[in-house]
Amino acid sequence: MKVIICGAGQVGWQIARHLASEKNDVTVVDRNPDLVRRVTDTLDVQGIVGFASYPDILASAGADNADMVIAATHSDEVNMVTCQVAHSVFNIPRKIARLRSQSYLDVIYSDLYRRDHLPIDVVISPEKEVTEAALRRLDTPAAFETEFFFDGEIQMLGITLDDKCPVLNTPLKQLSDLFSTLSAIVVAIRREGSLFVPRSGDQLFVGDSCYIFVQKHDVQRALEVFGKTTPSRDRVVIVGGGNVGFGVAQNLENRSSRIRAKVIEINRVTAEHAAEALERTIVLHGDGLDSEILIEANIERSDAILAVTDDDKTNLLAAIRAKSMGCPLAICLINDPSMVPLLQAMGIDAYVNPRATTVSSILRHIRHGRVQRAYSIGDAEGEIIEAQVLSTSTIAGHYIRDIEFPEGVLVGAVKKGTKILKPSGSLRIEDGDQVVLFALSNDVGEVERLLQVTIDFF
């Protein structure tokens, strides 16, 4: 399949990496020659320097016989025009656009994206996705990262172990014996900055950051097993009143639980807009790095701070200052994935990565059947893959113990019909089953080969 990706930033690069690894014909377009050079030097893709919305540039990228265009530049308008040109001039069958402005996303204007108006098949909203991810962090405050699979029936928890964890120094095999009815399984561990897939004899130590798959009904019990309590979050301070911060505050207002939120926003116009639109949320105009404005927000009596401005450094410093002033839980929005390994040392409890969230959302929409979801871990160090097993798959009809998975791969959950099962060596994988696997980045290609992944749109 031939795919044109417009925009060679982190999102475009990640999408290109996924599609190129599946042996698709991928061309990346960006007006920045350095970004194009980076993507062509690191991936098996072609690169074109130029404006993605220009018909001659799209023609140079092979739009005449392309199956899909993914418009993920930093400009909403360029993305929209790119899809229009792709449709009107080249008749490209499938068009995906990333749009950030909330005005374009208002449901009352949804007719705008009909084929006879502005032909975009799928609209991806990073702010909406990030808002939902931030709310998931607040809902599971003991985890530094969390994501859902199997339509919300399986939850991935990222948990950092401390000296209160009752299962320290316990081999994972023995852990399964002690809690035989617990659906949780540890699929990956980050230790001293290195991410690896554990084996049954591996033990857990203080400071380990574990990625755990658990069925939704077992989440609370799993947190207790790994020594985590669920602190209250009745009072939340949100630094940043833009699309994400405003979306979080609005969602909290609409909940039946009475969570009291305060928003700190440095831009007066943005703060005034938030204050007018929010009914029960206090909006403070000021700098989230200013200790006086944090005192005014009663940060020492708050249960959590959520720093979601568009600047990583502001988010980190605001969260660190808030914790030093007595706030027990700090959640940050971090765009730079290379900073993730540093967050624990800084005292940051959880984070939201907009790029990983957006990439996951795009992949969810471009893959039908086969691979249904792909979620990136860390700085593209690992990947969680949700897929359907085909009758032609190498793993179909085999017991898990007999499947030659690479060392960096572990099955986290299996769904047979409506029943979700904890994986074991004696479990047989059959045609039609759904599986969730964790794979280190170097082993993703082998997983896709075992699954015989193809992308199908029809």
117 or 47: which leads in pLDDT: 47
pLDDT bracket for residue 452 (50, 70, 90): low
Q: Name the average pLDDT for the chain.
A: 87
Pick the CATH number of 2-124 from 3.40.50.720, 3.40.50.300, 3.30.565.10, 3.40.1500.10: 3.40.50.720
313 or 392: which leads in pLDDT: 313
- As a whole number, mean pLDDT of residues 400-425 equals 91
Comparing CA positions, the residue from 230, 147, 209, 217 lying closest to residue 181 is 217
Q: What is the pTM of this model?
A: 0.75
Whether 130-225 shares its CATH topology with 362-451 is answered yes
Asked whether the predicted pLDDT for residue 458 surpasses 50, the reply is no
Asked whether the predicted pLDDT for residue 230 surpasses 90, the reply is no
- Kindly provide the residue ranges of all beta strands, DSSP E only, lying in 161-208, ordered along the sequence: 185-191, 194-196
Asked whether the predicted pLDDT for residue 120 surpasses 90, the reply is no
DSSP state of 370: S
Most confident of 299-308, 351-360, 388-397: 299-308
pLDDT tens for residues 184-197? Answer: 999 999 998 889 99
pLDDT tens for residues 348-366? Answer: 888 888 877 777 777 767 6
pLDDT tens for residues 64-98? Answer: 999 999 999 989 999 999 999 999 999 999 999 98
- Kindly provide the residue ranges of all beta strands, DSSP E only, lying in 182-323, ordered along the sequence: 185-191, 194-196, 209-215, 235-239, 260-265, 282-285, 304-307
* Residue extents of the structural domains in the chain: 2-124, 130-225, 235-356, 362-451
CATH class of 235-356: alpha beta
pLDDT bracket for residue 45 (50, 70, 90): very high
Superfamily of domain 362-451: Regulator of K+ conductance, C-terminal domain (3.30.70.1450)
Q: Can you give the pLDDT at residue 368?
A: 46
Find all residues with CB under 8 Å of 207, minimum gap 6, and list them.
160, 161, 162, 191, 192, 344
Asked whether the predicted pLDDT for residue 455 surpasses 60, the reply is no
Pick the CATH number of 130-225 from 3.90.1150.220, 3.30.70.1450, 3.40.50.1110, 1.10.10.60: 3.30.70.1450
Beta-bridged to residue 6, according to DSSP, are 29, 71
